[in-house]
Structure 1
Amino acid sequence: MIPITLNQLIVFGILFFSLVLFINGRFRYDVVALLGLCIATILGVVPWNQAFYGFANPAVITVAAVLIISRGLLNAGVVELLTGFLYKAGNRPTFQVSVLTGLVITFSAFMNNVGALALLMPVGLKMARKSLVPASILLLPLAFGSQLGGMITLIGTPPNLIISAFRQEHLGQPYGMFDFSPVGIGVSLVAFLFMAIIGWRLIPKRTPPGSRDDFFNIHDYITEIRVTEESKYAGKSLREIVKATNAKVTIVQLIRGGFSRPVPYMYERIKSGDILIVQSALEDLKAFLNTTGFILEEHADINRELIESGDTILMEATIKLDSPAIGSTVKDIDLRAGFGVNLLAVSRQGVILRQRLNEIMFQAGDVLLLQGTDGTLREAIKVLGCFPLAERGLKIGSGRIIEAVGIFAIAIIIAAMGLVPVQIIFTIAALIMVMVSLVPVREIYESIDWPVIILLGAFIPVGQAMEDTGGAELIASTLLSFKFLLTPVTLLVILLIVTMFLSALINNAATAVLMAPISYNIATGLAVSPDPFLMAIVVGASSSFLTPVGHQSNALVMGPSGLRFGDYWKLGLPLEIVIVIVTIPLILYFWPM
């Protein structure tokens, strides 16, 4: 066994520290990756002149280019065209799970998997409401399917690109566009059939059948009050009233006769007889009424159409795993002052939070009900790191489907033939989409998932340090010391399971960075081809099914479906067992040792 060195101890310490922070979730994974890189550089295990060479890695460039191309395909209306038939699907869960999951697997093979999920999730929600099926039954297979599709092609998910770049560096040849397909299609097909026939029956039914048309019942949190003639606050501005009463209420709408003003101007002076639609906790509402002398409006008929009058609409949006709003309170962000948007309610795991809105600390997967104009809402959810759950939040395609598909198809063909390196041809394709206005200039940088880019660029040098210091070889040699008890196939199984476990706890791209050098050193120690072990990393990194924190897709469905942290493994664990059983024979057949 190789003796451990100081530099190896430093690298292992940095990796352990990073893993703890990844799992803890207090800091975003890109921040953790940068912190790990800085520590590694200061302590000398990453040379100063190589600290940021990870940002020049082909995988990083390709990920950014693919995200821009994905935006172009969405803008052209490709996905809307293909999803239009889904609303005609029947009411049987088996068929609904089949069409939704099958489509998201297909999309995710060629575009960003989180983007594919974001487009199909509103469709799934509408299907669930229409057919009286709990949303969790359709959304969890959708989230898992978005990951399965990623293992089919080179551009399906960042881990594939990382493994391909690693192979080029160590074996002189990257993986081709469809080198992952034989194993990826086989695994995805079996996993798809399992979820469609058996798996959906294992999912807890957290949202009740026959759910309402929206996540929130308006009457649960909205109240009408009338301004009385006797009130001393009649004639004062809304701002003066809120300040004087220290009110913890949100003024949603002002109604005066036949006139209605949603999200009213705070300097608007109210008159006796005015009706204010307000959002407030019960105890705060009582205090407000007692102080102002306003009264509850009798026989109030509040509905969504009333709140959405004029240009003002309501939008449900869910908070993404990397949202900058996580850990902040409503008061910290102040949507009203910053965007002219009202936050009306927050739902967590399918339950409306009854506490004061200003005291709620946002978490990944929370569903927010926002009120504002289309423009202000789009800006607010972009800054908050959310995406809309209602179809009104989806962009209508421009009708340039043939043009967008043509650019993408030519890029894939050139990459598959090996005529031009994948990072070059996809960058060219992204540029062409920008030049022909399929992707407006303002959307170029919006379409890139910057936390993933930072994570890759910062963590790749740390992974390289583990290899350069001999840390990966040390781990591999420790496992190989048991090779008389563990056959190469057994080691392959162990590597796959460990990768699956890690991907359930940390970002799958970080998992690939950590596991690639270990798998390569195990293969070298066994004097066999590294390809089977690298393929195990590809499958394992795209099998994050045990928790909601390992992958964005899992976190995004948590709020809308009402699922809890411990619900994921009930489908995820059987699914991973099926994948392990299927993957090993497929790898050994297509990539023999």
Structure 2
Amino acid sequence: MDVVALLVMLAFSLSGILTVDEVLAGFSDPNIVLIALLFIVGEGLVRTGVAYQVSEWLMKVAKNSETRVLVLLMLAVAGLGSFMSSTGVVAIFIPVVLVICQQMNISPKRLMMPLSIAGLISGMMTLIATAPNLVVNSELIRTTGERLSFFSFTPIGVVILVMGILYMLLTRRWLAVSDDEQNLPINKHSIRDLIETYKLQDRTKRFVVKAGSDFIGQPLEELHLRSNYALNVLAIERWKHFRPIFLASSLGKAEIKEKDILLIDISNPELDLAEFCQKHNLEPAELRGYNFNQQSKLMGMVEVTPIPDSDYLGRSVAEVRFRSRYGLNVIGIKRNNEILTGNLVEEPLKAGDLLLVIGAWKLIQDMRNKTKSFFVLDYPAEIERAAPAQSQAPHALFSIFTMVALMVSGIVPNVVAALIACLLLAKFRCIDAKSAYSSIHWSSLILIIGMMPFSIALQKTGGIDLIVNFMISTVGGMGKHWILISLFILSAVIGLFISNTATAILMAPIAISMAQHLNLSAVPFAMTVAVAASAAFMTPISSPVNTMVLGPANYKFGDFVKIGVPFTILVMLVTIFLVPVLFPF
């Protein structure tokens, strides 16, 4: 779609319809910069774990009630999507929904459609929730000087959200699952699977440092646990500010404190653990999968394998200095589908070996850039929940609240408020330059920029006047509400074939021009177009949100038509009733 948009820009320029400045006007539009900055803000919420905190709360509160899950899911997605990209929110919740469906033994079809609909409804909640709102507001300011406030959409969005929840509770049975259709499995293995495969529960233990232990106050490297006992400390779990944190890198300098929990890989099967614990005043604790799940946003496991011509083949893990090079610990080796036992760090590596390594997600991901001697295999499912800046979550919330406050107050333009939030996120190390740039959906921005010349061309060639005159002659005498209905229907139909942002770009000048021809306020007309542009419920290609859930839920085209068309009609009726009440003609 972005390539088509670029071709459209080229066609306008070569045909002489628009000047070069007019064709490239989108690159200087403040809303383009604002949308890019909002992608970065959303990335900040993900990297600090704020977005996943909501999903974890959802799983905890909903328990085994499908109805409760559906209601809380839609509320959470719509709430988060009010302040960050709905596409990003849906991407975050897709693996969460799959896990919930597996645990509850229900088909993903039952929850993926509510997820998608809530993501689209989130675009109707605030001014910054979706690009069409910003596009319509920009056109309104440019044409009339009027502007929409941050919460102009909220009353309409809340009503539609409540209606959407009730609608999905009633119509979810339409998403029938055939008798021979099975729930889709989660393709990725989990950390729990790796623990069982490598039998870590048998040789990896947790030890609580009790009061009076001779470990307390000593740096880990001075304890010489590896040389004296063949014990490899993988991580330290420590309570701080009433929550557990994991120390998984630079452990050598870490000073042991009372109540620390040491995660230790025991390479010496002959070690008398009872005697060791009594001597150093430690209390053993069992290793379970959930111990890792609790910290899976920071720490993880992954399998790596040496490439066939690696210089490290024939050398042991100790000789490779694996821990010093990569900051990761090797805690398992699989060779010819058999798990090796004994002192793994002294085992010479062979071609085809699978090494299970543990450490911070950031170090695991950095390993790809640091070496060509090892290949990182498929990441476990928990990588989707990695939050490398989890400790900065309070600062991320402060940055977001600052942005929202500035936008609501109108002290500075929205784009400046978003820029301030991004700089705060960078200042507090919630994001870094690489993650900020990679979080921007450049194809989406190019699509918007490429479609912007359409509205200029329609105005310059008289196309808008032609459409406006046709619509006024057709429905102008039928009343103001019928005009709004015609605008909504036209916007919804156009949205079947192009993106909702492109729909807003095309329809906003038409709606505003109609209002001016009729000597009416342009705000209700603009609002109708904005809501209709977000009401992309009818086909799987109407919005990226719909496309994203198509595969995981194994939906068919007809599923969206069956659910989306009636709901779009209901949204239209609510919009036509509420908009004139909230924004008089």
TM-score, scaled to structure 1: 0.67
How far the C-alpha of 1:428 sits from its partner, in A, is: 1.8
Structure 2, gaps ≥5 residues long: 190-302, 311-336, 340-351, 359-371
Q: Tell me which of 486, 511, 514 is aligned to 2:506.
A: 514
Give the equivalent residue in structure 1 for 2:259: none
SS in 2 for 1:310: strand
Higher Rg of the two aligned structures: 2
Letter in 2 for 1:198: L
CA contact (8 A) 1:463 1:514 kept: yes
Give the equivalent residue in structure 2 for 1:220: none
How far the C-alpha of 1:584 sits from its partner, in A, is: 0.9
SS in 1 for 2:578: helix
Give the equivalent residue in structure 1 for 2:12: 40
How far the C-alpha of 1:527 sits from its partner, in A, is: 2.1
Q: Does 1:265 align with 2:307?
A: yes
CA RMSD after TM alignment:
3.2
CA contact (8 A) 2:395 2:425 kept: no
Between the aligned partners of 2:382 and 2:425, the Cα distance in structure 1 is 25
Letter in 2 for 1:91: N
Give the equivalent residue in structure 2 for 1:480: 472
User: CA-to-partner distance for each residue in 1:359-383, whole Å, 9 max, x for gaps?
Assistant: xxxxxxxxxxxx8154xxxxxxxxx
SS in 2 for 1:560: helix
Between the aligned partners of 2:160 and 2:547, the Cα distance in structure 1 is 23
Q: Does 1:542 align with 2:542?
A: no
CA contact (8 A) 2:26 2:452 kept: yes
Give the equivalent residue in structure 1 for 2:377: 372
Between the aligned partners of 1:570 and 1:409, the Cα distance in structure 2 is 39
Give the equivalent residue in structure 1 for 2:82: 109
How far the C-alpha of 1:262 sits from its partner, in A, is: 6.5
Q: Does 1:85 align with 2:57?
A: yes
Between the aligned partners of 1:340 and 1:161, the Cα distance in structure 2 is 48
1:39-188 paired onto structure 2 within 5 Å:
39-88=11-60, 89-188=62-161
How far the C-alpha of 1:484 sits from its partner, in A, is: 5.9
Give the equivalent residue in structure 2 for 1:400: 392
CA contact (8 A) 1:206 1:563 kept: no
CA contact (8 A) 2:99 2:186 kept: no
Q: Tell me which of 565, 570, 573 is aligned to 2:557.
A: 565
SS in 1 for 2:377: strand
CA contact (8 A) 1:548 1:554 kept: yes
Between the aligned partners of 1:206 and 1:507, the Cα distance in structure 2 is 32
User: CA-to-partner distance for each residue in 1:156-177, whole Å, 9 max, x for gaps?
Assistant: 0000000111011011132221
Letter in 1 for 2:106: V
SS in 2 for 1:400: helix
In structure 2, relative to structure 1, the CA distance for the partners of 1:391 and 1:193 (3 Å cut) is farther
TM-score, scaled to structure 2: 0.67
In structure 2, relative to structure 1, the CA distance for the partners of 1:206 and 1:463 (3 Å cut) is farther
Q: Does 1:310 align with 2:356?
A: yes
Could you tell me the percent identity over the aligned residues? 28
Between the aligned partners of 2:23 and 2:476, the Cα distance in structure 1 is 40
Give the equivalent residue in structure 2 for 1:31: 3
CA contact (8 A) 1:110 1:156 kept: yes
Letter in 1 for 2:377: G
How far the C-alpha of 1:214 sits from its partner, in A, is: 2.4
**Corresponding residue pairs, total:** 427
CA contact (8 A) 2:504 2:529 kept: yes
Between the aligned partners of 1:489 and 1:52, the Cα distance in structure 2 is 36
CA contact (8 A) 1:122 1:391 kept: no
Give the equivalent residue in structure 2 for 1:449: 441
Between the aligned partners of 1:484 and 1:422, the Cα distance in structure 2 is 35
How far the C-alpha of 1:422 sits from its partner, in A, is: 0.5
Give the equivalent residue in structure 2 for 1:495: 487
Between the aligned partners of 1:483 and 1:150, the Cα distance in structure 2 is 28
Letter in 2 for 1:148: I
Structure 1, gaps ≥5 residues long: 1-28, 218-260, 269-299, 313-338, 343-370, 375-387
In structure 2, relative to structure 1, the CA distance for the partners of 1:455 and 1:100 (3 Å cut) is same
In structure 2, relative to structure 1, the CA distance for the partners of 1:340 and 1:127 (3 Å cut) is farther
Between the aligned partners of 1:307 and 1:571, the Cα distance in structure 2 is 50
495-504 vs 442-451, which deviates more?
A: 495-504
SS in 1 for 2:125: coil
